[in-house]
Each structure stands twice: as structure tokens, then as C-alpha cells.
Amino acid sequence: MKRLAVLFTILAVLAAALLLLLPKGTQKRQPDAEHQIILGFSQLGSESGWRIGNTRSVIAAAERAGVQLMFKNAEQKQENQIDAIRSFIAYQVDVIAFAPIVEDGWDNVLREAKDAGIPVICSDRSVTLEDESLITGFVGSDFYQEGVRAGEYLIKKIAGVTGPVRIAEISGTLDSTPMRDRAQGFRDTIEKDARCQVVYSESGDFLRSKGKEVMVDVLATAGEVDVLYSHNDSMTLGAIETIEQHGIVPGKDIIIISVDGEQGAIDLLKQGKINCVVECTPMLGDVIMTLARRLAQGETIDRVTYSQETVFTDFDEDMLSIPPRGY
Ligand code: GYE
């Protein structure tokens, strides 16, 4: 009997040692359809109407889906997002989703999540990684296409215009995915037209206050500009305040192209103060919950899930009937 007990002990120790030898990422958490899913969500901040709409969408969708949400707002700081992700790992949540403020600098913390067997979804913005397997998927917009749509609108708008078209750009947070891709998609589209020249580009950090401030600099230093391309509606609303304070008529003296589709921007489109609003939807909550549930049950998800989006412009005949935006 005693020998048998010793044998069992040895076997148990061997089994435990074998488990420890397994590569860390393969120590999968057990998929379980029964228990309530715990989702850790790290939001990057509250910089814009879009972001506030996005936060609302995630919280409401979690409630609808019966998902227990651990929500943390990083107040615009990457360190806070890294701390939040570490706390989700310590808490052993089932799935982590986060909206990365910038693209770089996530490798270490995401490796920790993978080692803990917790799948990670990038929501809204994406990351650049050496090891792509550190995230399971991305859900959000195709920002490059948004830039292309902005450029295509401009080319259509300036049909028949001779001479140079001078463009000022107010971009989003430096090194964030929407900033990089909205700038690139726009440039790749307008560069085919020799009239188009980007004569000014500065970041307004996606903030209304900075949009207002940067526009002061545009008017003081860039000379006459024909077009303002602003990477989000909050900055556009700020820039328009400056433009009007200078006695310039937005939408007429300067063509205004914006991105997001907030209610405030659509209202100005209807009033003729904005010419084009490229839609970017913040309503990602339901998709995130669906993907989180699949991951928690051990299923795989698509690498990329893009939102369906459109463009609202002063060419639209039914502009007045755009339904309430909800953000
Ligand atoms: O356009 C802007 C927000 O990442 C798509 O961030 C998002 C952007 C959005 O602050 O308004």
C-alpha cells in the first residue's frame, strides 16, 4: 500500500512537471459555455464625441450580452493602458479587448497576455507587432479607405477648377492607426491630380481644442488655403470656430472635409459649413461581444472584421433625411 502511495505521488509530481514544461502560450484556459464571460476592456480616453459614443456602445452591448465588463479608461496615456491590461491578466479575465492609442510598444504586455492564455482583440485601432499571433483579431474601420474616400470626394468637388488646390491637413494623434492610414489613403488618392498640394499638416490630437488652435496656425502661416482635411469631427468643429472668427465662410471659402460622422458634423453639413463627412462608426460594442464569446468558447475568429461605412456630402440630394447618428 505504502509503495502504491509513493508511486502515485511520483506520478503526480511528474505530471505537474510536464505541465510546467509545456510552452507557456499553450496552457489554454478551459473553454466553458456556462460561466459568465469576463471581458477586460481598455479604452484609450475620452478625446472626442466619437470616443464617448464608442464607450457607450461597449458598455451597453456588454449589458445586453450578459458579459461581465471590467472597463478602464486610460485618459490618453499608453502607460495606463499597459497597466490596465496587466490588471486584467492578474484578474484572469476570459478575453481582453483594447483600443490602442498608438501602434507601437505593445509587444511585452501582449506577450504576457498570451502566456497567461488570454486572447486579445484590438478594437478600433491596431498595433504593429513582431509576433502577429499576440493578438487574435481586429475589429473596427478601414482607415485607409476612409482617406481614399476623402480624396475621391475632393477630386469630384474640384472638377473644372484650374490652378493649384492648396490643402491644409489637421491630423489625428501621431502614430495612431487612423492618423497614419487616413493621411496615406488621402495622399495616395490625390497625388494622381497635379493640382492638389498638401501645403500644411499638423496633428490636432483628435481634440476639439487643438483643432481650434492648429487652425489659427494654418491661417497665420500657410497662406491661402482652399481645403481643410481634418482627421476627425471634433477637430473640425474647433477649426470651424477659428475660421468663422476670422470672417472666412467655412464650406464656401474653404472646402471642409471631415471624418467620423458625429451628429454635430452632420448638422454643419446640412447648414453648408462642412462639405464632406466620411463616416467612421464607433458602434463596435455588439461585434466585440460576439467575438469575445467565440474566443471564450475556444473558437477562432477572423483576423479582421471591418465596419460597413459610407460618405455624406454636399452632393447628396437626400442629405436632409440622414437619420440621427447616436454619437
Ligand atoms: O476618428 C476620433 C477618435 O480611433 C477611429 O479616434 C478612432 C478615432 C476617431 O478620437 O474621433
Query: Which of 144, 230, 260, 281 gets mutated to test ligand 1 (max ligand atoms within 8 A of its CB)?
Result: 260
State the Cα–Cα distance between residues 150 and 170, nearest whole angstrom.
Answer: 13
Question: CB of 74 within 8 A of CB of 84?
Answer: yes
Reported residue count of the chain is 327
Question: CB of 212 within 8 A of CB of 206?
Answer: no
Q: Where does CATH 3.40.50.2300 sit in the chain?
A: 23-140+282-296, 143-280+312-321
pLDDT at 54: 98
Query: Facing residues of 225 across strands?
Result: none
Residues at CB less than 6 angstroms from ligand 1:
47-48, 50-51, 124-125, 178, 206, 232, 234, 259-260, 280
Q: How far is the CA of 317 from the centre of ligand 1 (A)?
A: 27
Q: How far is the CA of 115 from the centre of ligand 1 (A)?
A: 30
Query: Which ligand 1 atom sits nearest the alpha carbon of residue 47?
Result: 10
Among 226, 234, 181, CA closest to 200: 226
Question: CB of 47 within 8 A of CB of 210?
Answer: no
Q: Classify strands 165-171 and 311-313 as parallel, antiparallel or unpaired.
A: unpaired
Indicate the CATH number for domain 23-140+282-296.
3.40.50.2300
Look-up: residue for cell 459555455? 33
Q: Which amino acid is at 120?
A: V
Q: How far is the CA of 272 from the centre of ligand 1 (A)?
A: 23
In Å, the largest CA–CA distance within the chain is 98
Query: Which ligand 1 atom sits nearest the alpha carbon of residue 259?
Result: 1
* pLDDT tens track, the chain, 327 positions: 456 555 555 555 455 454 444 444 444 455 555 689 999 999 999 999 999 999 999 999 999 999 999 999 999 999 999 999 999 999 999 999 999 999 999 999 999 999 999 999 999 999 999 999 999 999 999 999 999 999 999 999 999 999 899 999 999 999 999 999 999 999 999 999 999 999 999 999 999 999 999 999 999 999 999 999 999 999 999 999 999 999 999 999 999 999 999 999 999 999 999 999 999 999 999 999 999 999 999 999 999 999 999 999 999 998 888 999 999
- What is the three-class DSSP state of 230? strand
pLDDT at 23: 47
Among 235, 194, 183, 244, CA closest to 213: 235
Grid cell in block for residue 307: 465596419
Query: Which ligand 1 atom sits nearest the alpha carbon of residue 231?
Result: 1
Q: Classify strands 196-203 and 165-171 as parallel, antiparallel or unpaired.
A: parallel
Query: Which of 206, 277, 279 gets mutated to test ligand 1 (max ligand atoms within 8 A of its CB)?
Result: 206
Phi, psi of 254 (to 5 degrees): -125, 130
Which of 3.40.50.2300, 3.40.640.10, 1.10.540.10, 3.40.50.970 would CATH assign to domain 143-280+312-321? 3.40.50.2300
State the Cα–Cα distance between residues 274 and 164, nearest whole angstrom.
Answer: 21
State the Cα–Cα distance between residues 97 and 58, nearest whole angstrom.
Answer: 10
State the Cα–Cα distance between residues 176 and 180, nearest whole angstrom.
Answer: 6
Q: How far is the CA of 43 from the centre of ligand 1 (A)?
A: 12
